[in-house]
Structure 1
């Protein structure tokens, strides 16, 4: 919640004066981050929102498609309650390399585009040229901000012992956090543990980069990569940082949770172990946006 709040607050600040906003979510899940954005747009002064478009991107599959459409219906109902003009799109692709600029219905020059990538880029990095392909598409969409959150881990080491030690440090702290913050019978905890279990097996038991499903990186490595593809880092604002720190203090186990700066980004940790980084980016030299009137649903 803390990192998600800081991330969406950065999006809110980046579209503060835009009357038309296109929010692209690469891992929408239940859409809680979208509801926070909607509330902020509904409450802002001086620049009423004319249209909010949310586009969810996911790989093809009936279960994913059904879940995303259900999320879209909930968001549409919430937008109606807030009196926000709203449109929801779902872009399904077999793999991230199949994603194309023309699949998005982006408005003309007055539409502000923001991208939200929550703990998902590690999946695309594991696909051959997947991350490079995604960055090429996003560059053409010319987003005002790309907000990224990723675990502070690296599973690229060829030696088993190095990967094992890294997994113990990160996931040990994460499970300790779950013990303090959730009951063992909590459904949300079961979902997190199931997902993390898959990542642990991928990090420790799978040999060879080509076979891994996840390839996370630490923030300094993400900075190297994004610099190579022509992106500049935006600063997570002091307001976002201090509000995230305030939110931590409201939790029962807040004394164990840390919120620190690493350059321009924010890093949350548990009892001194960095867990998740939140950073924001944009392209140095955006290309002229090409428009396609065809709508993809």
Structure 2
């Protein structure tokens, strides 16, 4: 949740985050097309820079000018930093001639989110972004159930989910260890090609990924409860709630490819479709998935 300079640079230098975010935000842009009052529910806003993409898209509308853009961020820590993120976003929106407001909802755990905490208006078109957060709600499964039930009640036009793609969910420790080690090696390889050895953000990334990898492989700490899964498993999860997978458009695919090709060191990064969803990979290994969901 901490929008530090190192985190911003780390995400900017690695291709997976930006490629997935551009595809996800493009999907939201398409589903709020024509809406004059838009409400975004972000379950893990972090730096918030992803919403500048949406703002620029909305500002270029020739018809159906947006009357009000509202962003609600759900956070579990660092309220002051999240509010700073909100102030930056509101300032940016105003520079785009957009009326924008920002709200923060603090909870001890995302599973404790309640509908009465959300200030939604019936005239608003609601979209939800769950960026690298769903996997933190799978243990126990009731936590994810609780969050989805709240989201369903606000009737979003679309819910975009981005997740790390991989099967690190085996009940057998040896399999878990090998899967986690292989996935970590892919991330470290991408850092080696996209970041200089002395750059502070590379050190930040190595320290962060190294610490998480150690906890996962040793089977200790909160990371043991965070289980990444392949997109097929997420499909089974969401269908239990009566959610219907939406087709990502050609425009979303184009935005992802354009971003993946925009930096020389990103040449090993590739994107492809898996059914209706988009996969971002490194040297052919899936790293992130982007899926879009509607409530039946």
Query: Runs of 5+ in structure 2 lacking a partner?
Result: 1-17
In the alignment, structure 1 residue 114 sits paired with structure 2 residue 127 = yes
Contact 1:260–1:266 under 8 Å retained in 2: yes
Which residue of the partner structure matches residue 6 of structure 2?
Answer: none
Distance 1:190 1:122, change over 3 A: farther
Instruction: Compute the TM-score of the two structures, normalised by the length of structure 1.
Output: 0.89
Contact 2:166 2:286 in 1 (8 A): no
Which runs of structure 2 are paired with 1:157-196 in the superposition (5 Å)?
157-196=170-209
Q: Distance in 2 between matches of 1:272 and 1:76?
A: 39
What root-mean-square deviation, in Å, do the aligned CA atoms of Structure 1 and Structure 2 show? 1.7
CA deviations 1:71-99 (Å, max 9, x no partner) are 01101111111111111000000112210
Cα deviations across residues 178-228 of structure 1 (Å, max 9, x unaligned)? 1111223334334433432343134211169x9834122110000001011
Any residues of structure 2 matched to 1:70-219 within 5 Å, and which? 70-108=84-122, 110-127=123-140, 129-206=142-219, 212-219=224-231
Q: Distance in 1 between matches of 2:223 and 2:253?
A: 37
Deviation at 1:105, TM superposition (A): 0.8
Counterparts in 2 of 1:193 and 1:129: CA distance versus 1, 3 Å:
farther
Q: Is the 8 A contact 2:216 2:223 kept in 1?
A: no
Pick which of 218-227 and 199-208 moved more: 199-208
Give the direction of change, closer, same or farther, for the CA distance of 1:14–1:191 in structure 2 (3 Å limit): farther
Q: Give structure 1 stretches of 5+ with no counterpart.
A: 285-297
Q: 1:83 & 1:211 partners in 2: Cα distance? A: 42
> What's the TM-score once normalised by structure 2's chain length?
0.89
How many residue pairs are counted as aligned between the two chains?
279
Shift of 1:126: 2.9
Residues 1:237 and 2:249 are matched in the alignment: yes
2:80 matched to which residue of 1?
66
Deviations 1:35-92 (A, max 9, x none): 1111111111211000000011011x3xx11110110110111111111111100000
Partner of 1:212, secondary structure, is: helix
Query: How far 1:274 moved relative to its partner?
Result: 0.5
Give the structure 1 partner of residue 7 of structure 2: none
Change in 2 beyond 3 A, CA 1:15/1:128? same
1:18 equivalent in alignment to 2:35: yes
Give secondary structure in 1 for the equivalent of 2:62.
coil
SS in 1 for 2:273: strand
Which position in structure 1 is the counterpart of 2:15? Answer: none
**Aligned partners of 2:29 and 2:207: how far apart in 1?**
31
Change in 2 beyond 3 A, CA 1:226/1:27:
same
Partner SS for 1:278: strand
